[in-house]
Amino acid sequence: MATPLRVLVHGGGIGGLGLAVALARRGHTVEVAELREQLDALGVGIIQPSNALHVMRELGVLEDCLKAGFEWEVLTICDPSGATLAKIPQPRMDDAPANNGIPRPALAEVLGRAAAEAGATVRFGTTITGLADDGEGVDVTLSDGSTGRWDLVVGFDGIGSPLRTRLYGDRYRPEYTGFANWRVTVPRQSEVRGVVMSTGNLAAKALLTPITDDLMYLGAVFAEAEDFRPDPERAHEQLAERLAGFGGPVAEALARVTDPAAVVYSRISQVTVDEPWHVGRVVLAGDAAHASTPHLAQGAAMAVEDALVLAQELDAADSVPAALRVWEERRRPRAMFVQALSRAVLKQETGTPTTPEEDELLEVGIPGAAHVLVKPY
């Protein structure tokens, strides 16, 4: 678009900050409304697969991500005792690294700094309390009482998206899958130089993911009641009980976990907005539109792809509505592939019956999906 736009991004997570960088560097006026008081990203660490790293290069922050994280190339599969069953090289997109593990706070810092340097503004402790789209622009009221008029409002406000509720009511509430993710940061073992996945004839799978030279995180998924919450006094013991059948590096990692407060517990839910992801000049992206289970490690990657592709389509189109239509045509098939295969893998691992369509996806599998997703988005 020849004329610079005024864009309000609702949510300062990975996708929202990525969009702020992409748009501000293109000369648009960007403001991010973030409910938190600072960019103190929750959680432990994430995997940036090659397609996410390709986006980081386009945003100009690849080297900062690699410096803050731990680059790796090979997935190691082990049995519950820790014996190696297979080593699987991971594919690359162009010359981007295959994967990078990075602490979530470090990634938030990298993207927040890049957004500020590009000229974007982050307004903390703020959320949208009112909006009116007249077709030519969106009048927005924020929780601090301020008002403004924007050419585009983008909801990167997560799986519990308040903006999604404003657009669609309660039609797309998060759906709990019946499983939850347990994660905890521990010192990196020298032999863990990429993701180590331990699995076998157990109702569990454990992963060790390096995120810096000194740190890695232990993650495990278990079936949990929807109302279950770890005991704040013994969460580390509850995790150890669930992983009691594992030896080797998983057992070594568990032995280092002595603080229950260090254990991060999150229920695994998903959201699929079946209607168009945009209503007028207001659009949802990332987990607000298409949250997946974590089995392909593509949640954050899909969010930053959403961000970069939206910036590209705003470059190419002659109007905001036209850009949003083409953007969704590009993004929906890829995001739905990730969501559908992730859910199929979860069902397969837990012995839940799968549909014929899911069985077909499972023939692609996680290794095949990695090769699909390193193709251009």
What domains can be seen in the chain, in order of their start residue? Answer: 6-43+104-173+271-373 (3.50.50.60)
Give the model's confidence band at 309: pLDDT under 50 very low, under 70 low, under 90 confident, else very high: very high
The pLDDT-based confidence of 202 (bands split at 50, 70, 90) is: low
* Residue 201: pLDDT over 90: no
Going by pLDDT thresholds of 50, 70 and 90, the confidence category of residue 79 is: very high
pTM of this prediction?
A: 0.96
The confidence score (pLDDT) of residue 42 equals 66
For range 86-105, the mean pLDDT: 94
Inform me whether the pLDDT recorded for 371 exceeds 90: yes
Mean pLDDT along residues 356-374: 94
* Sole residue written with tokens 């014929």: 356
pLDDT bucket at 43, cuts 50 / 70 / 90: confident
- As a whole number, mean pLDDT of residues 292-300 equals 95
CA distances from 88 to 33, 216, 220, 277 (A): 41, 19, 20, 36
Whole-number pLDDT of residue 41 = 65
Q: Are 271 and 172 in contact (CB under 8 A)?
A: yes
Share of the chain above pLDDT 90, in %: 90
How confident is the model over 202-211, as a mean pLDDT?
Answer: 87
The span from the CA of 76 to the CA of 99, in Å, is: 13
Annotate the chain with three-state secondary structure.
CCCCCEEEEECCCHHHHHHHHHHHCCCCEEEEEECCCCCCCCCCEEEEEHHHHHHHHHHCCHHHHHHHCEEECEEEEECCCCCEEEEEECCCCCCCCCEEEEEHHHHHHHHHHHHHHHCCEEEECCCEEEEEECCCCEEEEECCCCEEEECEEEECCCCCCHHHHHHHCCCCCCEEEEEEEEEEEEECCCCCCCCEEECCCCCCEEEEEECCCCEEEEEEEEECCCCCCCCCCCHHHHHHHHCCCCCHHHHHHHHCCCCHHHCEEEEEEECCCCCCCEECCEEECCHHHHCCCHHHCCHHHHHHHHHHHHHHHHHHCCCHHHHHHHHHHHHHHHHHHHHHHHHHHHHHHCCCCCCHHHHHHHHHHHHHHHHHHCCCC
Q: pLDDT at residue 367 above 90?
A: no
Mean per-residue pLDDT for 42-65?
A: 94
Maximal C-alpha separation, the chain:
62
Q: What is the pLDDT of residues 221-261, one digit of tens each?
A: 888 999 999 999 999 999 999 999 999 999 999 999 999 99
Q: What is the pLDDT of residue 220?
A: 93
Whether pLDDT at 352 is above 80: yes
Q: What is the pLDDT of residue 347?
A: 87
Q: What is the pLDDT of residue 39?
A: 82
* Cα separation, 164 vs 289, whole angstroms: 8
Higher pLDDT, 315 or 367: 315
From 62, 65, 67, 20, select the one nearest 46 (Cα to Cα): 65
Instruction: Please give the pLDDT value at position 40.
Output: 73
Q: How confident is the model at residue 199 (pLDDT cuts 50, 70, 90)?
A: confident
| 190-217 mean pLDDT | 91
- Tokens 């680059």 belong to 71
Q: What is the mean pLDDT of the chain?
A: 95
pLDDT at 213 over 70: yes
